[in-house]
Structure 1
């Protein structure tokens, strides 16, 4: 543990809220998402002059999703300020999504006066036990019962982000603690923790030996491996091992890398290929069915796992070797233990090429249409575009059929699978990487969950954000699931508003392409516009 502090004028006239904001700034926080309320006024007292930008969202769920998108693109924790009670419950869905997908998020909320906690006095925004609401969906949830508790809790939160599996943290601060004077100025006390470290040498030796002896090794990499792209590429090439990724790991290999098998473990050609592996190296991935679209992968060989979460080593896929440590450092150590010579990759390259061909030729009618849309997107989008996708059929196809050009470029709510993620996460990503163009893929159903955040986007953004609304006038996936189970469709054919008029009311530039050629034209125009563009593509028009 190291201790860093920046000299600041000593002042004990600071309130707990003011000092907390200064402390966050000293930890490198530059943006917070939220909606001020009567219970967070003391936090907002601290914002002017702090160097932290406040982004006004239109719903606390939007604040959480924006913090999520910011974190996924920047690699830094996303931060939100929310009120007690309804603010916390509104944000809980976004917190749950970040928990499921291992996203670092710091949620600072108010809570009622310490003297009232748990007493049921009927105070404004009162909940019986606010901490208990978020405890199951956070790395930890705590209440600061005094101003002196705050620096320790913030240090603990950043220890989770820096040293453990990154997940959300919720810290509730009672109103009297926010407003109370601090006893000493701790606002510059920044505690940094050591990194995630390496597995023990003997375990690394064992893993290297098994990989070297493998006849058909393959790799699966997830969001926990985003910092290890160079090591994964070297390992894949040296072992002649096809490399699959989870959705969170899209872009870890170059799109045209001959051993890049993509995020294809959710379709039959991917399952067929991974079934041939005699050793699978899984790096920074939960190996969850939300990525695979089936209960269990057909793994017949040994599994070697690299993870910072020791609970993953003997869950659904017990492993032959457990490497508990940082992905980049661990893979680097494995490379030093493997022979320098590169195996003959021709057989593996042929298998990956056949996999990609089988995916494109095996599309159903709807997926083939999605592929055409995705191809038009790929043809015109700038190379550094961030795509944020909602739970919509177009994105489901894109998860495996769209090749990302780099990491942190395809954001999808994989684990929790919540509707309404795409738009606010895409907005948050713009604050995490302001100059990168943004593209949101959203269906008509999910769009209505968080459409109000268009107000934030139009108000705040001065660089391209294109919202591609795939409108099939239905909850299409659920309708199709009902039909496949011989259930009469109920509640899946809603009446939609006029999305064009709605977007114009928010101040968006709007296009309504009537064909794929027009879609490509309008996408190009959207990426050239320094602001928010909504493109409504209706299913019938896309078929032309």
Structure 2
């Protein structure tokens, strides 16, 4: 690679590491990154805002299983991307953000350069697992080695590389690759101990988190051998669809907590046991986890909860190892009954309004099976996070838990569609959240992506308004006027239709519009929140 710039070398080395798509908005501080991009074979997708670039990278990574990559400019480009990086950190999503930065000699001096920050690298370090600067022409190779090691070992998340303007244009100098000790194999002694405990347990419950979403067949096999109901957090929905042992309901619900507390052994697979899944209502109460066996890639995570046994390792490897270590003798056959009773009780618990929302989701699933459903904080997504059995592993994800960033749904759906061009993608987003990132739909138009944007229009922030009223606060600031979505869709040049907030009406609209090529929009007319008068 002699005779090329650092910017060109960086792009080429990303391609060597399997990167096939980047999301970015070029600027004067990233021109050198783009010098080598056209000839690299890497697809470039242009969002309308750097926040969109980060969320697209997030959606791409969740579906592809590979790091999503964003190119952003110095200063505002990076600060606009910090929110997606924080969302990725919360949900363990592998993301690489490459930014420019001002010339090396100017950094930290406050000279008033364009896009200058006091300490851009330090700012990125507040959310990135690793944030490094290519400080000289020999630094690129070891930095790429380190950041990709972070992306593929331990708990994934966002990483950041910044390239000063003077270094980006300088001639690349190759340096030896760094070597890292391989991740230790899963301890067979711990597998044997866990299998013994599971075999002796009478009422096991499995808690499956996002770390288990790529091991569906193995999880089903293990659950059947254990006769154990499987509770899925939001990021694990779609696992074991329709199975008699599935419990596709929030562990924050009393019915699910009761199931967990009745267990004499809890097997937690790739879940951080965080409050947005396990204490959604902020009561401060967690279900008691008897005989907890916790499996996670992150060693820090395994120290945060008291457990009978912890196993550090990839769930994809631990699950089949546990299955093979079990004695495989028939267990008590009440697991399906326990799961069924929990599903019934959870369904009743969520109440009529949320049940209606879930019925709409069920109708969407029937009208568009095996679809990727990407969401934002809005009524149907809240309802589905409480109770919804999706039919595709990894096919239900949203930003209504964890970091909880509004504006996520539209760009994340675009990234998801690029990761799996054969899949139909449905983005469910409220009229309020849509206004955070509505222009990103034009990126879907540019790329001719099969994404249907379902706008749930209740004329405001209904859930926030209800929350304010519930605690005796006057409802204010919760009714931003929505745009004319029909006119908006027309300006985007995409098909548009409307539907009432009823299951069959939404399903009919979806069948009608989803048969068309490219992106489309459905506006679902829902009731506006009316505060109670004193």
TM-score by length of 2: 0.94
Q: 2:520 — aligned with what?
A: 533
Q: 1:340 — aligned with what?
A: 328
Identify if the C-alpha distance between structure 1 residues 507 and 239 changes in structure 2 by more than 3 Å, giving closer, same or farther: same
| Partner of residue 493 from structure 1, selected from 444, 460, 479 | 479
Is 1:307 equivalent to 2:293 in the alignment?
no
Q: 1:323 — aligned with what?
A: 311
Deviation at 1:288, TM superposition (A): 0.6
1:111-147 Cα distance to aligned partner (Å, 9 max, x none)? 0111111111111101011111121211111111012
Identify if the C-alpha distance between structure 1 residues 514 and 334 changes in structure 2 by more than 3 Å, giving closer, same or farther: closer
Q: 1:365 — aligned with what?
A: 352
The alignment partner of 1:404 has SS state of coil
Q: 1:272 — aligned with what?
A: 258
Distance 1:226 1:540 in 2: 35
Distance 1:376 1:330 in 2: 36
Identify if the C-alpha distance between structure 1 residues 376 and 194 changes in structure 2 by more than 3 Å, giving closer, same or farther: farther
| Partner of residue 203 from structure 2, selected from 216, 235, 251 | 216
Q: 1:258 — aligned with what?
A: 244
1:139-190 Cα distance to aligned partner (Å, 9 max, x none)? 1111110122111111112111222211110001100111111134x7xx88
Is 1:106 equivalent to 2:93 in the alignment?
no
Give unmatched runs, 5+ long, in structure 1: 1-10
Whether contact under 8 Å (1:158, 1:192) holds in the other structure is no
Whether contact under 8 Å (1:241, 1:259) holds in the other structure is yes
1:501-540 Cα distance to aligned partner (Å, 9 max, x none)? 1122122211012463332221012221111111111114
Which sits farther off after the overlay, 363-372 or 266-275? 363-372
Where do residues 242-253 of structure 1 align in structure 2 (5 Å cutoff)? 242-253=229-240
Identify if the C-alpha distance between structure 1 residues 263 and 160 changes in structure 2 by more than 3 Å, giving closer, same or farther: farther
Q: 2:16 — aligned with what?
A: 26
Distance 1:218 1:92 in 2: 37
The alignment partner of 1:387 has SS state of strand
Which sits farther off after the overlay, 257-266 or 432-441? 257-266
Distance 2:316 2:183 in 1: 10
Whether contact under 8 Å (1:391, 1:417) holds in the other structure is yes
Whether contact under 8 Å (2:130, 2:150) holds in the other structure is no
Distance 1:430 1:314 in 2: 37
Q: 2:219 — aligned with what?
A: 232
| Partner of residue 37 from structure 1, selected from 27, 32, 41 | 27
1:446-483 Cα distance to aligned partner (Å, 9 max, x none)? 10000010111111124x21111111111111101011
The alignment partner of 2:339 has SS state of helix
Distance 1:382 1:240 in 2: 28
Q: 1:178 — aligned with what?
A: 168
Distance 2:274 2:40 in 1: 41
Distance 1:319 1:526 in 2: 50
1:293-348 Cα distance to aligned partner (Å, 9 max, x none)? 14342215121111111111221x21111111121222222223210223132x22
Is 1:153 equivalent to 2:139 in the alignment?
no
TM-score by length of 1: 0.93
Deviation at 1:194, TM superposition (A): 7.4
Distance 2:159 2:341 in 1: 44
Is 1:135 equivalent to 2:125 in the alignment?
yes
Distance 1:324 1:378 in 2: 36
The alignment partner of 1:302 has SS state of coil
Q: How many equivalent residue pairs?
A: 523
Distance 1:473 1:192 in 2: 55
Identify if the C-alpha distance between structure 1 residues 196 and 412 changes in structure 2 by more than 3 Å, giving closer, same or farther: farther
Q: 2:409 — aligned with what?
A: 422
The alignment partner of 2:215 has SS state of helix
Distance 2:207 2:178 in 1: 34
1:35-56 Cα distance to aligned partner (Å, 9 max, x none)? 0001000011111110100000
Q: 2:420 — aligned with what?
A: 433
The alignment partner of 2:292 has SS state of strand
Where do residues 413-492 of structure 1 align in structure 2 (5 Å cutoff)? 413=399, 414-462=401-449, 464-492=450-478
Deviation at 1:205, TM superposition (A): 2.4
Whether contact under 8 Å (1:65, 1:428) holds in the other structure is yes
Whether contact under 8 Å (2:23, 2:44) holds in the other structure is yes
Is 1:65 equivalent to 2:55 in the alignment?
yes
Whether contact under 8 Å (1:162, 1:193) holds in the other structure is no
Distance 1:312 1:299 in 2: 18
Whether contact under 8 Å (2:234, 2:250) holds in the other structure is no
Q: 1:5 — aligned with what?
A: none
Where do residues 487-526 of structure 1 align in structure 2 (5 Å cutoff)? 487-514=473-500, 516=502, 517-526=504-513
The alignment partner of 2:476 has SS state of coil
Deviation at 1:235, TM superposition (A): 1.6
Please report the RMSD computed on the Cα atoms of aligned residues, expressed in angstroms: 1.8
Distance 1:282 1:380 in 2: 33
